[in-house]
Structure 1
Amino acid sequence: MDKQEIIKKLKEGKHTKVKVGVVDIDGVLRGKFMHRNKLISALENGFGFCSVIFGWDMGDQAYDNSKEVGWHTGYGDFDARLDLDTFRTIPWEEGIPFLLADFNSDSAVDLPLCPRSLLTKVIKEAESLGYAPMFSQEFEWFNFRETLQSLEDKNFQGLEALTPGMFGYSVLRMSENSEFFHDLFDQLEAFGVPLEGLHTETGPGVTEAAIMYSDILESADRAALFKTAVKEIGYKHGIIASFMAKQTNQLPGNGGHIHQSLWDLEKKKNLFFDDSSEGNMSDMMQSYTAGQLHCLPEILPMFAPTINSYKRLVEGAWAPTTLTWGHDNRTCALRVLSASEKSTRIEHRVVGSDVNPYLAMAACLASGLYGIKNKLKLDVAPTKGNGYENLSNGVLPANLWEASQKMKTSDLAKELFGEVFVDHFTRTREWEWRQFSAAVTDWEIKRYFEII
């Protein structure tokens, strides 16, 4: 749909307002309503969006360590650009129009702090090499029969799960909550976020959805909008959805796995597939995989961005801890699937459901391209059996502080994403660590209050 078609649709539609969204550094969708006349003007000239969205955390607390945004900059506006390709309507809000914006410009330097602009920059590099990245993301999350007020009243403790017990792939549990599950599948389809599959996962109230694959930018948009859409649809059913990576140490965490391949669209050829090679992996796929393994320890916060992320990355909990790859092996960091040309891809299993999809996909693509450009050899043997026991290529950093310090001082990370982004992003992760370190937790109170 081009600009004139969108303008015509807006003018003839029943809505005088349009919802506009921007995704911040944590992957949170921020937005506002705009009058359609203002939005039509913004389609031509862009518009200002307050820079504070890159200067505060997910709890709206201003960073005290950012060079790029802070009290010292006055929190002025950044010039935002509406992306016409993201136009859609919100079916659970009476079809109100919606557009995503970013800070990517053809006539000026892109804003290095903007996750969507960063991904666009990496995509341009892939396209300049003749590759069309095709990606998709899947999410696991918990559903609770609660409201925003009941969460506060209960202090986030003793919450009622949507369904009891451990019952993955349950037809019964989905039937029990059929209105919610039907709404998820159908409303997301109408919203332009089509699902390949939807099912219960193991754990009380846990659900998994696989979003249909597409070109990488569309896939990132779908993934970012998916999380907010699920929460909004859930509200209509008295359900709160949580995409925390790890809800409790008694259950597996929530993954946000990313599937990826490179294509030659003119020839309709999957460049990862070569049936004359061992395991059907082309030389390009092997170099791409080697690049991801090589870069992973130095860019881990882009896949695991929160304190909670690292509590998911523990042994025996369906999340990887080692720098491994394997054929159809779910205990490895990278799961290679190469049975046929159409389906050959890499599944990045380090990614949690708490991730910013733009940053995670940018990190996947950039690290894979690094392997291709530098002709890296996949000299790490595929893991057969338990990937948790294969320490031959090393392990992942253990927590957000360790991972952030490694990325902050990494020349490789700066080569991939630029010094400004790496500095700003790792400072925001250091801030997150400091907020956690200053908090007194329930664990500390129970352990030390009486005994010590």
Structure 2
Amino acid sequence: MNREQVISYIKDNNIQKVKFAFADIDGVLRGKVISTKKFLEGLKTGYGFCDVVFGWDSNDVVYDNVDITGWHSGYPDRLCFIDLDTMRNVPWQDDIPFFLADYSGPNGLTVPADPRSLLKKVAEEFKAMGYHAEFAQEFEWFNFKETPQTLQQKGFANIEPLTPGMFGYSILRTSQNDAFYADLFNLLTRFNIPVEGLHTETGPGVYEAAIEHCEVLQAADNAVLFKTAVKEIAAKHGITATFMAKWNQELPGCSGHIHQSLWTEENGENLFYDGTDANKMSELHKQYLAGQLYCLPHLLPMYAPTINSYKRLVEGAWAPTTITWGVENRTTALRVINTSVGSTRLETRIPGSDTNPYLAIAAALASGLYGIKNKLKLDIPQTIGNGYQDKTHGTLHSNLFDAATAMQNSSVAKELFGEGFVQHFTQTRLWEHRQYAKSVSDWELKRYFEII
């Protein structure tokens, strides 16, 4: 709906309140419910929001090492702006109208670290070049018969999964929780997040969902909303859903793979496909892929943003550890899928389900743009077989500290996203490392408490 149609809808249906939210640096949705009066008044001027939302971590502890905001600035309000194109109703909350917002308005960007605005800028570059970027992110996540209260009471130990055992692609397990399973599919679709497929993965209580592909910004919006929507729907059934990359060392991790392709705006031609090539890959596809391979070491924290992300990126865990690509190879960092003209695409397999979709998708898109602009040659040969063993062209950083330090010092990262964003984002990742470094883990207690 355009602005006039939205206003008419609100007035004609006597709607008294609306809900809006934006994603912070961790991809956590922060928002408010506001009156219709306030909503209508702010459509042009924006809505004031304390900028501490970009100055604290996922546990609301303020950073001590960022310049964008802090005690030194007094934590003022910054203006965010609702994107009317994102309107949808929340079917599990009395169909309240909901909107996404970001910090780019008519007078420019009000918060340089805003993830959605960052992706919008990269997407606009592609559009100006005549490309239509089509994306989708898929997610795996674990479900538990727990509430926030029981998790706290149990200290996150001995928690009960929704279903027992390893049972991937199980028809039985989903039927045993058919009310939750049906609500996920039906309510997400009504929430304007069309799900292409939903099934169990291998692991107790783990599901996987593929969201339908669409224009890149909308795809990121869908991915961000998907994670919160799943948590809210699960809560209605007394279930807690987690999108941690690796919640248990004995079980598989949870992926957030990104699928992508470029198309013509005019006639809808898949620009990644070339039937005359041995791998059905166009030169543009190869340049795009080469860009991602080249930029991977410079942007890894945008794909793997938490301490926990790197517990998933280990050999033999269905997640990549090397700078590799292959056709239909799930052991490589980048997987080319070329089964038909319409489905030819690139899958970036580094991200886990803990990613901020705006940042992960921006990293993939900007890396591909880097390859196209610089006409990079795909000089890294395809990996045939086990990608974990192919270390010829390097391995991914194994921890957040090394990855964030490399990105902070990277001229490539600053060229792609600007020094302001790179400094803020990497400082938040180094903060995350410091919080982890001073903590005492269960592993340490069990290993040292009595023996040492």
Instruction: Give aligned pairs, total.
Output: 452
1:388-447: per-residue Cα shift (whole Å, max 9, x none)? 010111100010000000000000000000000000000000000000001111111111
1:301-354: per-residue Cα shift (whole Å, max 9, x none)? 000000000000000000000000000100000000112221010000001000
Give the SS at the match of 1:266.
Answer: coil
Contact kept? 2:324, 2:390, Cα under 8 Å:
yes
- Describe how 1:83-232 pairs up with structure 2 within 5 A: 83-109=83-109, 111-232=111-232
Percent of paired sites with the same residue: 58
- Describe how 1:2-13 pairs up with structure 2 within 5 A: 2-13=2-13
- Describe how 1:249-328 pairs up with structure 2 within 5 A: 249-328=249-328
The answer for the alignment partner of 2:64 in structure 1 is: 64
Residue 42 in structure 1 maps to residue 36 in structure 2: no
- Report the Cα offset of residue 15 of structure 1: 3.4
- Report the Cα offset of residue 107 of structure 1: 2.6
The answer for the alignment partner of 2:386 in structure 1 is: 386
Structure 2: where are the runs of 5+ without partners? none
Label 1:352 to 1:311 Cα distance change in 2 as closer, same or farther (>3 A). same
1:59-95: per-residue Cα shift (whole Å, max 9, x none)? 0000000011111111111111110110000000010
The answer for the alignment partner of 1:450 in structure 2 is: 450
Contact kept? 2:103, 2:109, Cα under 8 Å:
no
- Report the Cα offset of residue 131 of structure 1: 1.0
- Report the Cα offset of residue 106 of structure 1: 3.6
- Report the Cα offset of residue 381 of structure 1: 1.0
Label 1:183 to 1:199 Cα distance change in 2 as closer, same or farther (>3 A). same
Give the SS at the match of 1:383.
Answer: coil
Deviating above 2 A after TM superposition, structure 1's stretches of 4 or more consecutive aligned residues are 12-15, 105-111
Distance between the aligned counterparts of 1:49 and 1:11, measured in 2?
Answer: 25
Distance between the aligned counterparts of 1:59 and 1:14, measured in 2?
Answer: 37
Structure 1: where are the runs of 5+ without partners? none
Contact kept? 2:47, 2:80, Cα under 8 Å:
yes
Give the SS at the match of 1:228.
Answer: helix
- Describe how 1:75-90 pairs up with structure 2 within 5 A: 75-90=75-90
Q: Which amino acid aligns with 1:407?
A: M
My pick for the range that moved more, 308-317 or 274-283, is 274-283
Q: Which amino acid aligns with 1:225?
A: L
Distance between the aligned counterparts of 2:351 and 2:308, measured in 1?
Answer: 12
Give the SS at the match of 2:286.
Answer: helix
- Report the Cα offset of residue 6 of structure 1: 0.7
Distance between the aligned counterparts of 1:253 and 1:377, measured in 2?
Answer: 33
- Report the Cα offset of residue 268 of structure 1: 1.0
Q: Which amino acid aligns with 1:398?
A: S
Label 1:62 to 1:314 Cα distance change in 2 as closer, same or farther (>3 A). same
Give the SS at the match of 1:84.
Answer: strand
The answer for the alignment partner of 1:361 in structure 2 is: 361
Q: Which amino acid aligns with 1:401?
A: F
Distance between the aligned counterparts of 2:108 and 2:294, measured in 1?
Answer: 33
The answer for the alignment partner of 2:336 in structure 1 is: 336
1:355-401: per-residue Cα shift (whole Å, max 9, x none)? 00000000000000100110101011111111101011110001000
RMSD: 0.8
Give the SS at the match of 2:72.
Answer: helix
Contact kept? 1:110, 1:117, Cα under 8 Å:
no
- Report the Cα offset of residue 109 of structure 1: 3.9
- TM-score if structure 1 supplies the norm length? 0.99
Distance between the aligned counterparts of 1:110 and 1:127, measured in 2?
Answer: 23
Distance between the aligned counterparts of 2:278 and 2:380, measured in 1?
Answer: 14
- Report the Cα offset of residue 278 of structure 1: 2.0
- Report the Cα offset of residue 13 of structure 1: 2.4
Distance between the aligned counterparts of 1:312 and 1:211, measured in 2?
Answer: 22
The answer for the alignment partner of 1:402 in structure 2 is: 402
- Report the Cα offset of residue 110 of structure 1: 5.4
The answer for the alignment partner of 1:352 in structure 2 is: 352
1:134-164: per-residue Cα shift (whole Å, max 9, x none)? 0000000000001111001100110110010
- TM-score if structure 2 supplies the norm length? 0.99
Distance between the aligned counterparts of 1:390 and 1:10, measured in 2?
Answer: 57
Distance between the aligned counterparts of 2:159 and 2:13, measured in 1?
Answer: 42
Distance between the aligned counterparts of 2:341 and 2:128, measured in 1?
Answer: 23
Distance between the aligned counterparts of 1:91 and 1:17, measured in 2?
Answer: 15
Distance between the aligned counterparts of 2:234 and 2:225, measured in 1?
Answer: 14
- Report the Cα offset of residue 14 of structure 1: 4.6
Label 1:179 to 1:14 Cα distance change in 2 as closer, same or farther (>3 A). farther
The answer for the alignment partner of 2:415 in structure 1 is: 415
Residue 237 in structure 1 maps to residue 222 in structure 2: no
